[in-house]
Amino acid sequence: MRSTVKITTVAAVAAALALGLAACGSGSGSGTSSKADGKAAQDASAPLVVAASPTPHARILDYVRDHLAKSAGLDLQVKEFSDYVLPNTATEQGQVDANFFQHKPYLDDFNKKNGTHLVPVADVELEPLGLYSHKAGSLSALKDGATIEVPNDTTNEARALDLLAAGGLITLRDGAGQSATPADITGNPRHLKFKELEAAQLPRSLGDVDAGVINGNYAIEGGLNPAKDALVTEKAAGNPYANILVVKQGRENDPRVRKLVELLNSPQVEQFIKDTFKGAVVPAFGTPAA
């Protein structure tokens, strides 16, 4: 059993006060570190607390904590969150030291919309986005007028539409880019309809629609394997959506963070990802693109 604390609702975050984790507020902060942040940053022996979504992010961090961190002199603590907002607000407000759950286009969009000051420090892995269906066994079997669910956050919705376009189901307006929405669809020969939902809800509601484009981590949590079950998946080569380790600006050179970067990009973690996820998650090590 993992020793992490799983936080699934705002109420649960508030309840975690007894464990020393303050509830995540709605403010973005002023961009300055708290006194606690500064003290931790100066103490290389202090615990490094990382927020992560359960799969694969927390599983990868758990492996690092259990097999690599102690010998590297790192006291790594993992706190699980089940959405795409609280890990960033907790990192911004200094309630955790870092997070691992998102790709850079999502982070850039989050910073822009929320006035946060979060920066990537390392690429770790890619979870291929896939189109799944409980009703159709192939792209050609999707019926005319089918309803397809897609993530409702800006970058992942655009990513989902790009996947559908790559599969020949739709055509997108030139230049729609990473902010594309269904309004940018210029060709829809099968008269597909789109249902926009929060990403974490997509696996649970897949049976209510004809198909859904689901993020790799949520697909895995929902018992789906991108390598086996998806009707079409993203290509890994040249993909900008590698998942990243993120800190608040100014914490990039915290020695504990640099140590974790080294461990996350190690041959041991590469092998763990390959052995554990068998193609559903792909190592994508390196420095994030500017």
Write down the residue that tokens 């303050």 correspond to. 22
* Per-residue model confidence as pLDDT tens digits over 103-137: 999 999 999 999 999 999 999 999 889 999 999 99
Percent of the chain's residues with pLDDT above 70: 85
d(CA 221, CA 69): 25
Q: Which domains does the chain have, with CATH numbers?
A: 5-128+239-286 (3.40.190.10), 130-233 (3.40.190.10)
Within 155-256, strands assigned E span: 171-172, 185-187, 193-197, 211-214, 232-233, 243-248
pLDDT at residue 250 tops 60: yes
With cut-offs at 50, 70 and 90, classify the pLDDT of residue 155: confident
**Quick one: 59 exposed, middle or buried, by C-beta within 10 A (0-12, 13-18, 19+)?**
buried
* Per-residue model confidence as pLDDT tens digits over 48-81: 999 999 999 999 999 999 999 999 999 999 999 9
Q: Identify the DSSP state of 167.
A: T
With cut-offs at 50, 70 and 90, classify the pLDDT of residue 193: very high
Instruction: Identify the helix (H) or strand (E) that includes residue 49.
Output: strand 48-52
How crowded is residue 43: how many other Cβ atoms within 10 Å of its Cβ? 12
- Assign residue 10 a region (left: φ > 0; alpha: ψ between -120 and 50; beta: otherwise): alpha
The residues, ordered by sequence, that sit 6+ positions from 27 with a Cβ below 8 Å of its Cβ are 93
8 Å CB contact between 280 and 125 = no
236 or 52, which is more confident?
52
105 or 34, which is more confident?
105
